[in-house]
Every structure is written in structure tokens, then in C-alpha cells.
Amino acid sequence: MKLDMHFHSTASDGLLTQEELLKRAKEQDLEFIALTDHDVVSYGFREEAQKYGIKSCQSVEISAYNEAHDKSLHLTFYAKEISQDIGNILQWVVRAKEDLIWLQLARFQEYGFEIDADGFYDFFEKLWRKKDALNKFDMVVFVFLNEKNRIHAQQLHAGNAITREDFYLQYLKRWWDKFHEFAVMVPNYEIPLSVCRDFAQKSDAIISIPHPNVTFKKWGIQEFEKVLPHYIEQAWVNAIEVNACATRDWVEAILQAKEKYDLFLTFWSDFHKSGINDGKHWDFWQSNPFLSPQSLEKYFQEYSHKIYSE
């Protein structure tokens, strides 16, 4: 069975339109797809997919926050119908992201970086990126285009060279010491797990932890196994994603968690654009080599009736 339940369009931070994605899915003979744009429910996408003879559902990737463990994470969400009040709440998240971008750019300036805010938006507009779909890593990409900023980042980093990826992780991700000094936070930027649980109840949804091999990369499999029960209890998580780039060890850990907690499995690529294979993202519908097509179909059929009707 050919499917992909995790990919993005220009409605958030993907580089292909929904129509372009549907054409590609048709060309590649996909049978089921689910569009998981960041905090943007895929209203209308299922009906467009049907025109191509492809099954789909309503879906979204939610920016969530685990207060108990002080962790930001994403949760992918799939249902036959996602109520409009959920979509409205997520619109507040999108607006909060816009506010955060503006304030974080100002914080960069406070720390001595050369920032042209108008130039920032112009740069990404030329890449067909929507203003409300930009994220913190986009800011770092833009800042590091300037050689003076790269030198300044090294000076901030005790004179040690630092890549834009490491700067993003160490200065703008919640689990690093420098986050509370350097990063800006705004209200409504992330959805608490308790609200995610309410979402799941309202929609009888599949709610999955995507790419755990990436989300828990810093801490490893043991930490994933340790906190998974909390997500199951607090957010009603009932599924885990097998990411296309997950190693054999991670796939085995995910399968063990599935059996232990009676969870479902969701799948694969976290596609944003072609040509990426960075340990998290891969090409559209690219499957994980450690899961057979036969087992994929078996796992998907366990819950397919919950998210689409024949």
C-alpha cells in the first residue's frame, strides 16, 4: 500500500501547493494521503483528493507544549471531521507565530545582529513562503546569510564556530540553557496537552507523536519510553509515527511501544520540498526500509475506518 500521512504545503512551510501535491500523489499511485500543515486544518483537501481518486481525511500538525516536562513538540491529528472551533483555536496559534517572529527579530537586534525586518519578509516572499508560515529556523537562515552576523554568532558562542543549525538548537529551542535568555515567547504560541486531549475527544481522532526519532533525538529512546505514558494520559495520544528516516533501533522501539500501549501507527515522510534527506524529512511518500509493505497495510487498516469512509 502506498500512502503518506505527514507532509506540508504552501499553506504552512511546504514549497508545493495542494494541487501540486495531489498531482504528484496521483503520478505516484498513492492510495491514501493526509496533509498535515502546521496549525492549519486541511479543510477541503479531502474533497480535492477524491477528484484524483485518492482517499484522505481532515488533518493537521499541532504545535503543542508539555508543561510537565517543559517540552515543545508537534502532534499530528487525523479525523473524519475536525470541528471548526478547533480550526479557530489554531488560527490564534498562527497569529501568535507572526507576533513571535516580529519580537524575535527585535531580540536579535538587541543582541547586536544586523536585521532588516522588511528584507526578511521580502526574502521569503520570493521563495513563495507565506508571512504567517515562517518559523524560528527561517529567522536563523536569514540572519546567517550576513557574514557579519555569522561572525557575531561565533563571538556570542565564546568565540567558537557555530552553524546555523546549532545556533537554532542552542539559542531558540526550549531544552537548551540559552533559550530562556535569548528566545522570545508569546501567549497562545503552543497548545497545552490538555487542549489537545479536548480536540481528540471532540473529533474521535487519531492523534500521533510524529518523528519521535527526531523529537527525542537529544535524549534518546529511553527518554521517549519514559515520557510516552504522560502523552497518552494527558493528550490522549493513541498513535506513533514511523518516520521515513527512523533507524532500525527506533522502529523496533516504536513497535514495542505500539504493542505495550495498544497504539496505532502513522507514517512517513514529513515532506516539505524535494531533495531533502536530513534525518527527518524525506521525499513525498518515501517509506521506511525497516517496515514491510505488508505490515504497513495491516497497521493502517487497524484504524482506517476512524478517519475515512469507503
Residue 125 has pLDDT above 90, yes or no: no
Which of 139, 132, 133, 135 shows the shortest CA–CA distance to 153?
A: 139
List, in order of start, the domains of the chain with CATH numbers: 3-90+189-307 (3.20.20.140), 98-182 (no CATH)
Question: What are the tens digits of pLDDT across the range 163-199?
Answer: 998 999 889 987 777 888 899 888 778 888 888 888 8
Q: Which comes out higher in pLDDT, residue 134 or 274?
A: 134
Q: Do residues 136 and 168 lie in contact, with contact meaning Cβ atoms separated by under 8 Å?
A: yes
Confidence at 276, pLDDT banded by 50, 70, 90: low
Arithmetic mean of pLDDT over the chain: 89
Per-residue DSSP letters for 135-173? -HHHHHHHHTTSHHHHHHHHHHTTT----HHHHHHHHHS
Confidence at 247, pLDDT banded by 50, 70, 90: very high
Residue 278 has pLDDT above 70, yes or no: no
Confidence at 275, pLDDT banded by 50, 70, 90: low
Residues 6+ away with beta carbon under 8 Å from 88: none
Least confident piece of the model among 97-106, 122-131, 187-196:
122-131
Give the Cα separation of 46 and 49 in Å (integer): 5
Helix (H, G, I), strand (E, B) or coil at 36: coil
What integer is the mean pLDDT of 87-105? 89
Cell reading at 124 = 521569503
Burial code of 103-129, b = ≥16 C-beta within 10 A, e = fewer? ebbebbeeeebebeeeebbeebeeeeb
Say what the pLDDT of residue 34 is.
Answer: 97
Which of 131, 137, 125, 202 shows the shortest CA–CA distance to 164?
A: 137
Question: DSSP label at 189?
Answer: S
Alpha carbon dihedral 4, 207, 297, 20, in 10-degree steps, equals -20
Least confident piece of the model among 68-82, 118-132, 216-230:
118-132
Residue 10 has pLDDT above 90, yes or no: no
Confidence at 111, pLDDT banded by 50, 70, 90: very high
Say what the pLDDT of residue 40 is.
Answer: 93
